[in-house]
Amino acid sequence: MRLDHLTAEQPPVRVPAQIVKRDGRIVRFESSLIENALRKCFASLGRTPRTPIETIANQVVNVVAAKFDLPTVEGVQDIVEMVLQAGGEYEAAKAYILYRAEHAKLRQHRPIPQDVKDAFAESDAYFPTQLQKFQFYDKYSRFNYEKGRRETWVETVNRAVDFLRDLSGNKLDAAVYNRVRDGILHMKVMPSMRLLAMAGPAAERNHVAIYNCSYLPVDSIDSFVEALIISMSGCGVGYSVERQYVENMPRIKRQTGIKQPKHIVGDTSEGWADALRLGLETWMAGEDIEFDFSQVRPAGMPLKIKGGRASGPEPLRKMLHFARERILARQGGFMTTLDAHDIMCAVGSAAVSGGVRRTAMISLFDYDDMEMRHCKDGDFWLNNSQRWNANNSAVWPQRELNQQEIARFVLDMVESGRGEPGIFNRKAAIENRPERRKEADFGTNPCVTARRVVMAAGTAWLAGADRGCWWHGKPRLQMAQFRHGARPTLN
């Protein structure tokens, strides 16, 4: 690739406004730093380049601007190497590569400040096992941009307790807050682990961030929008696409050719939710709309409030395109339960951070909804990979099922190769609900795991343990754990 035709006299290319430092900080992009690095490189060789340093630096900036929306220091240095080699400055390119390698080694062996060592040593004393220590730093320790490092266990506990103190209006005695802090610090008690991870600015902005799971029926456009907000907060979403809910959706009008003004998507969770709502309302009304994603931060940028890295606009773009295609395919008719399920799954696909899905989902559907029952049969992922995002469970009817119906359902579970669909017994859930939930029409969330105590036939059972099968209130047989699909049963 020849770059000698890129000169300072050519039309200017947009220079990046910012650059990501190695520690994650975002600072102003300064091309003068590239010139300084090039001068030092050629000075170490005792000669001047064949092309003026200013021209080489401009070439680097041009390529960086064309390749990156938000460049990183390492990415810019890669471009410097490429431009030097493309310009025939092989000796300088080699010297620059060796210089980078030497300084990378120095950074690895840079001494750790004593106060940092002391802070982490203090926290290490609270971890009974190395696995607990690893899990903490992997999932709960937030990056402190002021200190340029991750939190220690002591700092995380302080952040969580400070949030609880603010949330309670500091109404309790100081001794109570100190007791709570000490209990968490020594791992005698634990708060919501979502609280431990998100306490502070993220939870203050939206309390959904501290919840583990949720449930909602899909009965309006609001359901999809709410699911996106909840998912982007890292909370699991259980939802129902039973006909009694989905049939409340309005008829989808035929396209009229009317096009709404282009909508600029805001760079917030609420901005994404507004775009989804506007798109769904517009398409269902028989109109169309385009979206401008220029304000959405590029992929890889740090999310300083929520933590992690930005996914960029592509997941949102794909989700909106998917929803549009599904809705326009039903012009003049109504959204089906499978359509509602697929759009919810697509919403889950959009809620990612740094390529990692933020949410878990479970979908409830009518026992006799055959489209939903078989939606994950065969090689479904070839055309509908979004369906991986949700586990599916059929809501069994209140009437008794005969042996043939039960056998057919179990065979469907086996033939799917994945143990799906599961079974949700709403009748049992309603009969066992506490007094304070008497008005609730129960659904479920995607978080019933091994070691969870559940109610069945009026008895508390430990999920994951050997258990009996109950039918009409009588034990029928004993059955142990079994495996299905690719993942082992959790213990």
Q: Report pLDDT digits (tens) over 335-347.
A: 999 999 999 999 9
Beta carbons within 8 Å of 189's beta carbon, 6+ residues apart: 180, 183
Tokens found for residue 407: 């056998």
Q: Do residues 35 and 155 touch, judged by C-beta distance below 8 A?
A: no
Q: What is the pTM of this model?
A: 0.73
Q: Do residues 53 and 39 touch, judged by C-beta distance below 8 A?
A: yes
Q: Are strands 18-20 and 26-28 parallel, antiparallel or unpaired?
A: antiparallel
pLDDT of residue 325: 96
Which of 233-237, 317-321, 455-459 holds the top average pLDDT?
317-321
Q: Do residues 463 and 454 touch, judged by C-beta distance below 8 A?
A: yes
Q: For 307, phi and psi rounded to 5 degrees?
A: 95, 155
Neighbours of 484 (CB within 10 A): 14
Residue 358 pLDDT exceeds 90: no
Distance separating alpha carbons of residues 390 and 437, to the nearest angstrom: 26
Region 126-141 average pLDDT: 92
Region 14-35 average pLDDT: 83
pLDDT of residue 151: 94
Q: How confident is the model at residue 397 (pLDDT cuts 50, 70, 90)?
A: confident
Q: Are strands 352-353 and 356-357 parallel, antiparallel or unpaired?
A: antiparallel
Region 398-414 average pLDDT: 88
Specify the DSSP element, H or E, that contains 315.
helix 314-328
Q: Do residues 236 and 209 touch, judged by C-beta distance below 8 A?
A: no
Instruction: For the chain, give percent helix, strand, coil, nearest 5.
Output: 45, 15, 40
Q: Which residue is listed with tokens 């889950």?
A: 348
Looking at 141-150, 335-344, 403-412, 424-433, which range is the least confident one? 424-433
Q: Domain-by-domain residue ranges, the chain?
A: 18-108, 114-209, 213-444, 448-491
